[in-house]
Chains A and B, each alone.
Chain A
Amino acid sequence: MTATTPVAQIRVPTRTAGSELRAIKIVWQRDLIRFFNDRLRMVTSLVQPFLFLFVLGSGLSRLTQGGTGGLSLRTFLYPGILAMAVLFTAMFSAASIVWDREFGFLREMLVAPVRRSSIVVGKCLGGATVAAFQGVIVIAIAGLVDVPYAPTLILAVFGIQLLLAFTITTFGVMMAARVSQMQSFMALTQMLVLPLYFLSGSMFPASNLPTWLTVLNRIDPLTYAVDPMRRVVFDHLSLTPAVRARLDPGITWNGWRVPTLVEIGVVAVIGLIMLAVAIAEFSSTE
Chain B
Amino acid sequence: MTQPAVSVAGLVKSYGDFDAVRGIDLTIDSGETFGFLGPNGAGKSTTISMLCTLITPTGGTARVAGHDVVHERDEVRRNIGLVFQDTTLDGYLSAERNLRLHAELYGIPRAVVDGRLRQVLEMVDLWDRRGSKVATFSGGMKRRLEIARGLMHSPRVLFLDEPTVGLDPQTRSSIWSYIRELKQAEDITIFLTTHYMDEAEYCDRIAIMDHGKIIALDTPAALKASVGKDRVQITTDDDAAAIAALDARFGLAATVAEGAVTFAVEQGEQFVPKLFAEFPLPIKAVNVSRPTLDDVFMSYTGKTIRDAETTTAQRGRETMQRFRGAGR
Contacts and interface: CB of A to CB of B under 8 A. Distances in A.
A1 B187 CA distance: 16
A108 B87 CA distance: 9
B112 A286 contact: no
Interface in A1-53: 1-3, 5, 7-16, 18-19, 22-23, 25-26, 30, 33-34, 37-38
Contact of A30 (B77, B87, B101, B152): B101
Interface stretch (B88-96, B263-271, B276-284, B287-295): B88-96
27 contacts: A2-B181, A3-B184, A5-B185, A10-B153, A11-B154, A12-B107, A12-B154, A13-B107, A13-B109, A15-B74, A15-B107, A19-B107, A22-B107, A26-B101, A26-B104, A30-B93, A34-B92, A37-B92, A38-B92, A104-B86, A104-B89, A108-B88, A108-B89, A108-B90, A113-B77, A114-B107, A286-B56
B187 A7 contact: yes
Nearest to A119: B105
B106 interface: yes
The 4 closest A-B pairs by CB, nearest first: A19-B107, A26-B104, A112-B105, A104-B88
Given A2-B185, A5-B119, A10 B109 contact: yes
A149 interface: no
A14 B107 CA distance: 9
A30 B53 CA distance: 25
A8 B92 contact: no
A113 B74 contact: yes
Interface in A91-128: 100, 103-105, 107-109, 111-114
A18 B74 CA distance: 16
A34 B133 CA distance: 12
A2 B151 CA distance: 14
B12 interface: no
B97 interface: yes
Nearest to A13: B107
A2 B107 contact: no
A113 B185 contact: no
B116 interface: yes
Interface of B: 52-56, 74-75, 77-79, 82, 84, 86-93, 97, 101-102, 104-109, 112, 115-116, 119, 122-123, 152-154, 181, 184-187
Contact of A1 (B89, B101, B122): B122
Interface of B is mostly: loop
B102 A113 contact: no
A12 B109 CA distance: 8
A12 B153 contact: yes
B142 to A, nearest CB: 11
A110 B278 CA distance: 65
Contacts of B152: 10
Contacts of A3: 181, 184-185
B80 to A, nearest CB: 9
Given A100-B90, A105-B88, 6 more contacts: A3-B185, A10-B108, A16-B107, A23-B105, A26-B104, A33-B93
A10 B123 contact: no
Contacts of B90: 30, 100, 103, 105, 108
A9 B154 contact: yes
A158 to B, nearest CB: 28
Q: How large is the interface on A (under 10, 10 to 19, 20 to 34, 35 or more residues)?
A: 35 or more
Contacts of B122: 1-2
A104 B107 contact: no
Contacts of A108: 88-90, 102, 105
A5 B121 CA distance: 14
A180 to B, nearest CB: 14
Contacts of B119: 2, 5, 7-8
A107 B83 CA distance: 11
Interface string A65-109: 000000000000000000000000000000000001001110111
A245 B167 CA distance: 70
A150 to B, nearest CB: 39
A107 B109 contact: no
A118 to B, nearest CB: 9
Given A1-B123, A15-B74, A34-B92, A8 B105 contact: no
Contacts of A9: 154, 187
A107 B108 contact: no
B88 A107 contact: yes
B97 A33 contact: yes
B133 to A, nearest CB: 9
Contacts of B54: 111, 286
Nearest to B117: A8
Contacts of B75: 113
Nearest to A118: B105
Given A30-B101, A105-B88, A286-B55, A23 B107 contact: yes
Contacts of A16: 107
A12 B123 contact: no
B178 to A, nearest CB: 9
Contacts of A103: 87, 90-91
